[in-house]
Structure 1
């Protein structure tokens, strides 16, 4: 046998062993606990959704998922961290919508196109909430005081690309809202500051504020929509021009690196799908004002691309984009 054929046989043997080992590894997945990285801080809407669904996923997978909050950079810190981990399916990203805007805002080149959507769990309802001691009874009252006293009203913010930034930018194109943004690492810390009177109002996902509103610790001035919800008037009552951007809202999803082995990825999809169908979880999500989606794969990717297109071009329109969506290959909606 020539040296060439000996070498070829060796290569094929090694390749066969590697393929068998890979198949065995995938077959035994998950063999240990997983790490779940949450983009935002404790107590925020993303954190609440992540911690609510995880026990049901653990039951389906048969393994523990250790959750950790990695806030910062409007979600970029956690997203970059997960992207740097091995592509073995043992690190999952619990994220919100923000990374879809990072390229157009010049925050990061990394968006969800570099990840596989295990699930888009739900989309959130957006509320404008105020400190309970403020005299405002409606969004109209807030706007009237902001216009009469420019810069004196303090709005909780989560940075460029965050929910308050996005919605206030939309409002700013059709009405004057001269407020001062105060940054926080997520809506959880912002809502805490709001209750303490350190800021005056905040635009948040309903999940982060629902219990505080029920308990009377915060008051809801408006819902981001064209119709009232649970007795809260639509924002279009005060800002009718914003209707051109609606419907719009945040979303919550779970992602892994795109090159995670297919078998491991499929097991994650099945586990999160089952968890999303859990009656107890669905009841909790509805109580917090979220609309269940529970989609993955191609359906989720189509949703992500449409959301990015609408929002990125809105930012371009209001002058908030640092990079043109066209230059980034993001089509107009």
Structure 2
């Protein structure tokens, strides 16, 4: 009887050990069977900016369309602060199970060289999809003496540090684009900071600054109202939404090497998210973006649709990071060299 009990106990222990080892073996991976039941709970969609901006509008328009594809709930929330670094760190700190998504823009590409955060897209996240790209436009007040981009650059060269260039914080579109002008054209601006694009536009309206770079979609309403003049788009070709505005390469061909470049919106997951879940999310977002309502939203915001994923998305984000970080460094706006993070110059890729 004792032998029988010992035998049964040994069998039970063996079964328990097998279950334990199996569980341990699966703790850091998810099989295709597990992915088939994903999502197992609500998915949190974390937006790095506050309500009402392009990233917020695009993400919230897309969310219900993705829900239909995944068959689960995508609960959106805004977690702003530190140029998006608070939201980025928050998502990174969550379990890598695909139930927390980061809806972001280009800013995390710059965190390291600006010493804002140790996180960045290339090392810490996997892109699920890049939705679209915006473009910047160099704008001045309608009453400005500057009629062309050459007028602005010539004045800045002849009067170093006297042209008041507005920007909306470190790593912002106005900041990076202005750094691009300084680095490539040997100019020097007097930077005037504002807390967001809204106050920046108000400053230009009040002639507190001489010029700034705004997203074409944000600037267009002021141009249409006769308040601003857009002198150039920061791109290598004219845009449909601003067809009468010349691209910067028309005046300065040397900028061609930087493009395609510009602000973008996309969705990311923790780098350790199982590949099967990444694939399921990628398929859902790719299909959802084909929706006509979503395409209309992009058009209304002046965003060029991309809908890219996989290696193409990785290469896109990587080139954006290379261009932006070296621009800031060469212009003296980033004290930490991109070399410290093994980021090559755009012409060395």
| 1:54 shift after superposition | 2.5
**Contact 1:45/1:207, CA 8 A, preserved across alignment:** no
TM-score (norm 2): 0.78
Identify which of 271, 278, 302 aligns with 1:258.
271
**Contact 2:160/2:187, CA 8 A, preserved across alignment:** no
| 1:179 shift after superposition | 3.0
Rounded Cα–Cα distance in structure 2 between residues aligned with 1:196 and 1:56? 41
Residue 101 of structure 2 corresponds to 92
Tell whether 2:309 aligns with 1:303: no
Tell whether 2:111 aligns with 1:102: yes
Identify which of 302, 311, 330 aligns with 2:343.
330
Larger CA deviation: 191-200 vs 87-96? 191-200
Rounded Cα–Cα distance in structure 1 between residues aligned with 2:203 and 2:51? 14
| 1:76 shift after superposition | 1.6
Larger CA deviation: 52-61 vs 84-93? 52-61
Residue 80 of structure 1 corresponds to 89
| 1:171 shift after superposition | 0.8
State the Cα RMSD in Å. 3.5
| 1:224 shift after superposition | 0.8
Identify which of 215, 220, 241 aligns with 2:230.
220
**Contact 1:118/1:296, CA 8 A, preserved across alignment:** yes
Q: Which structure has the greater CA radius of gyration?
A: 2
Long gaps (5+) in structure 1: none
Between the two proteins, the alignment pairs up a number of residues equal to 332
The residue correspondences of 1:180-329 to structure 2 (distance < 5 A) are 180-184=191-195, 186-187=196-197, 190-191=200-201, 194=204, 201-214=211-224, 216=226, 218-229=228-239, 230-236=243-249, 242-243=255-256, 245-329=258-342
Find the residue that maps to 2:113 and give its secondary structure. Answer: helix
Residue 163 of structure 1 corresponds to 173
Residue 39 of structure 1 corresponds to 48
Rounded Cα–Cα distance in structure 2 between residues aligned with 1:176 and 1:97? 25
Rounded Cα–Cα distance in structure 1 between residues aligned with 2:260 and 2:226? 28
| 1:213 shift after superposition | 4.0
Long gaps (5+) in structure 2: 1-6
